[in-house]
Structure 1
Amino acid sequence: MAHSIQSIRNVYDLAKCARDSGKPFDDEEIKKLLERTVTDEKLIPEYPRFEKGYATEDLFMRIFSLLPWVRSIVPLGQEQFPESSKETIQIPDYEIIFEAGNEIDTATILVEVKLVDGDKQTFELQKYKYEVLYEYSSHKKVTLLFAIFWRKQWVWTINSIESFIEKSSSYKISYERACANDLSAILGDYTYLFRKQCYRKSIFSKNEKADTEFIHRHEEYGKTIYEGLSLDEQKFESLCILEPALLDCAFDFKEISYKNLSNTEIEIIEQFDYLPHVYKLSSLLLAYLNKMYCIDKNNMYYEDNILIKRSFDIVDTVRRKCGGEKFYLIPYNVNETSTRLFDIQFGKVKHIFDAYKSTERNEGYNILVSHE
């Protein structure tokens, strides 16, 4: 069994490498690889299920490696010897080293990645699966967390086992409970709050010879030759070619001004259609990379390129130009794991740690604390 599962992983990795190089395998080629390498034939029809799980793990590694406080994410691999050891101890998916409180000190966590697929709104973890994972983290004396990808919402949460509700043979957590007790703030997964009115100026030209860096165009007004943002409708800060896509995937605008600048040029000014907007950094990264065709939302495949590596800087720059403020989401439940991790990360930032310890919890409301 263990050898067969590793073979399936090897086929997945080969298929991803082929797609990365622009020469993807077709279904028949994948089937032939599976038939040649997987000894347990009953597992071959299960390949699509394994594929989704591995794609979720890869997507987690890629997105969370972009967060500002994450130093390294190391895949721990799933092969263990002797094979029977998996009955009592299980290696989690990743080890993460992150900046803890300052740029010098670091801390380490272990992360097991899970996918909630389809329309499901609850994740259930069998107790025996948790126990073998906990056994490994206990031996290592490193905190174990769960990274859950809620595919319908396209949202990641990081949760400790204390956030789950214990049943007779399993632990369960709903999407709402996972979001309320999300611990991703310890990794620099800011919550951006946009509560200032923002104005977007776009200039279009019907002159096909007009010089522009932008490749997108308006179906009626022609080529885009300028994009800019302002917080006072007076002074606009220009956007580069890679930045408008974030506006398009994250915000709704309404037109407030239309002006003919010449026979060929038109200026349109828009403003946020409503306020406030609230986004986690990891969610904005996902939305932006999907908009830029770097992530295939249908199968969670990502194309690793220079744009992905620059995406945090792009997202955070546009956030600043839009007047977005940095906040941290405080978990609803105060427990041993969250207290330890928040102390490591925010213990020396009095207003944040005091908010974690002392803020009154009201069901249905999230707790956000300003970066400042």
Structure 2
Amino acid sequence: MHRLLALILALSVPGLAQAGIVFTPHLSEYARLAPGQYTEFTLITTEIEEIYDRNGRKVHTGAPFIPPGDSVDATLLLLKYLWIGNLFRDSEIGFLRDRPQFCRIIGTLGHQQATGNAVRRGLTAGQHSGASGLGDLFGLCGIYGLEHRYGPLKFNGLFGTTVKFPIGRYDTDSLLNTGTNYWSVIPQLAVHAELFGRIYLDGTVAWQFNGDNDEPAFGGLTPTDPADVRNLEVNLAWKFSEHWFADIGWSYRETIGPNRYDKFTLNLRDQPLPPTTACNSTQALLGFSIPDALCNSLEFFYLEPRPGPYRDRGIKGTLLTAGLYYIYRTSTVLNLRVAQPISGRGGQIDAVYDVYAMPPDSPGAAPISQLVSTQNAVQEAASVSASPYLELRLVYLFWAP
């Protein structure tokens, strides 16, 4: 007899969006700084208690089958080295001779850990729910435009290209990862402007071209074909004195089209299960929703997910930031900043499961029913946090002018 069973294993947990954080501008981020070698240490920490669903609504992490209160605790350390100089200063190439160049290397270290029921839900699918270690490496080079002055206004442009090298720790059986397992190439145009020596504006437009991920994580809920992403960032700062500054910022990121999922395999670890087990766990950790008429059935069943292809609706996120800066002489900058998401959309897919009365790989096995389960996509490319994060930066110039 055909029976309709409903299974939802979804647990939506975003990692920190490393690429998005890299392109969030700070005070004088794109100004023509003095030639030299700069180092920067940025510590970012967050407790992700809410995320955005595909309709742009805020929901608690793991909704609807995990009650509010659990979260993902995440910390990201960015280690940056910046060189500014002019390799063509004495050359005959006029365009490059007058425009400084720059190169930046950004290394990342991360720690992410789910709590409570979020961990237990991962275990029902044979997955673990924490990650620590090396993140991806970002390499950026570019060229400054000429500086222009019109009365109290001065400004310059910038062009650069970033390559993301997927060297970070990546585990296909993990809900969370510090690496992404796909390449990215990110060209950007940026501008810096100052007015009356008090008001500072930095802004950028960046386009992130993403490669494929042939080994998706967490049962295929990271995209195999992450969509390209456009980023738009603006930061406005006010100078109180030579030592104190404050800024506010706005950033927007959106995928160009949907993410694609071609290797969906997420399933219950322990099978078969009687419907009575599922009924006892309805709206709880297993996330089953079974009609009452089946609760006393002694029959077992098996579930087999269809691998796809599936597509989400794409993701997007809007973020506001506010920060305070202290500048010591000309060599050291301390910055404390808070970021608050104000809108977003996360990735979800409607995955299809076949229901069997015997093991799916048995001779003559045929599905007796199907069910559709809404699955929340995970990690950087597909999930969007709705929780704030705190950022602490230290910038140091080795040889201050």
Select the structure with the greater relative contact order (CA < 8 A; seq sep ≥ 6).
Answer: 2
Same fold by TM (over 0.5)? no
- TM-score interval, smaller chain: under 0.3
TM-score, normalised via structure 2 length: 0.26
Higher Cα Rg: structure 1 or 2? Answer: 2
